Amino acid sequence: MDPPTEDTKPAGSCEPSNLTEDKKSPQDLVNDKKGIAHGMLGTFFADLKEKKVLKEREIQTLGETVNVIVDKTEGLVGDLTEKTQMV
């Protein structure tokens, strides 16, 4: 008797295409981290303001400084991603 010719994979088996669909792009991972950091810093600054640890202007200056750091970090991550894709 000949073996069955139909596909006999067990239910729930992984196809290679399914594995790549679940992976996030480097940019998506960066955006996820930015969202987490944004939420944490927002809460931190709100606590400082609520507890009157810093004045409104001091918090604003800190926020502007954080924005500069984020912008420069994004540039570095972008450069690193680009260089690793070239290799």
3 lies in a domain?
no
Residues 15-27: pLDDT tens digits? 444 444 468 887 7
pLDDT bracket for residue 29 (50, 70, 90): confident
15 lies in a domain?
no
Residues 64-81: pLDDT tens digits? 888 888 888 878 877 887
Do 40 and 61 sit in the same domain of this protein?
no
d(Cα 20, Cα 82) in Å, to the nearest integer?
20
Residues 38-67: pLDDT tens digits? 888 888 888 888 888 888 888 889 888 888
Structure pTM? 0.46
Nearest to 30 by CA among 60, 61, 74, 68: 74
Do 38 and 59 sit in the same domain of this protein?
no
Query: What total number of domains does the chain contain?
Result: 2
Tell me which residue range forms the domain holding 68: 55-86
Determine contact, residues 59/49, Cβ cutoff 8 Å: yes
